[in-house]
């Protein structure tokens, strides 16, 4: 026997390796595809639940419309920047802040106190984000 292999034997062996690689690639691809299809079939949302009549209606820049809930009164300022409790607590905080000294030993300005008091006293997004200090 020759220890030397002919070129035709090597090409046959390489083609057999390529075939097995191709079969492996096909098997892997088919398993990913079948898993994806199975996930898509099983995980489909129920169209009836997506459009239920009890759903809250969300509108950009407005309060959500919840079924069965009464609409807010136009004069109700609770939670807004015009909320009397919020304004009272900011004014009280500002008075205490202006009468105390800062960490550097100097008195604080009105703008510094208003900004700090807004952060301390706010309870809603509107109260925390409106520009209390003129810029």
SS (H, E, C) 79-134: CCCCCHHHHHHHHHHHHHHHCCECCCCCECCHHHHHHHHHHHHCCCHHHHHCCCCC
Sequence ranges of the domains in the chain: 7-44, 84-129
Q: What is the pLDDT of residue 107?
A: 87
Q: What is the pLDDT of residue 94?
A: 93
Express each pLDDT in 108-122 by its tens digit. Answer: 888 889 999 999 999
- Report the C-alpha gap between 86 and 90 in whole angstroms: 6
- Report the C-alpha gap between 73 and 77 in whole angstroms: 9
Q: What is the pLDDT of residue 127?
A: 92
| Highest mean pLDDT out of 31-40, 43-52, 72-81, 82-91 | 82-91
- Six token digits for residue 121: 């006293």
Q: What three-state secondary structure class fits 36?
A: helix
- Report the C-alpha gap between 125 and 86 in whole angstroms: 13
- Six token digits for residue 126: 């509107």
Express each pLDDT in 19-61 by its tens digit. Answer: 677 888 888 888 777 766 666 666 655 555 555 556 888 888 7
Q: What three-state secondary structure class fits 65?
A: strand
């Amino acid at each position: 026997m020759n220890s030397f292999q002919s070129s035709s034997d090597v090409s046959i062996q390489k083609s057999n390796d390529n075939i097995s690689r191709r079969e492996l690639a096909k098997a892997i691809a088919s398993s990913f595809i079948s898993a994806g299809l199975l996930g898509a079939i099983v995980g489909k949302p129920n169209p009836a639940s997506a459009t239920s009549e009890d759903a809250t209606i969300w509108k950009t820049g407005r309060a959500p419309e919840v079924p069965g809930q009464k609409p807010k009164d136009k004069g109700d300022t609770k939670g807004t920047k015009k909320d009397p409790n919020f304004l009272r607590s900011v004014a009280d905080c500002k008075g205490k802040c202006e009468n105390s000294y800062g960490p550097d030993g100097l008195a604080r300005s009105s703008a510094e106190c208003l900004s700090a008091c807004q952060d301390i006293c706010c309870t809603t997004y509107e109260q925390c984000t409106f520009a209390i200090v003129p810029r």
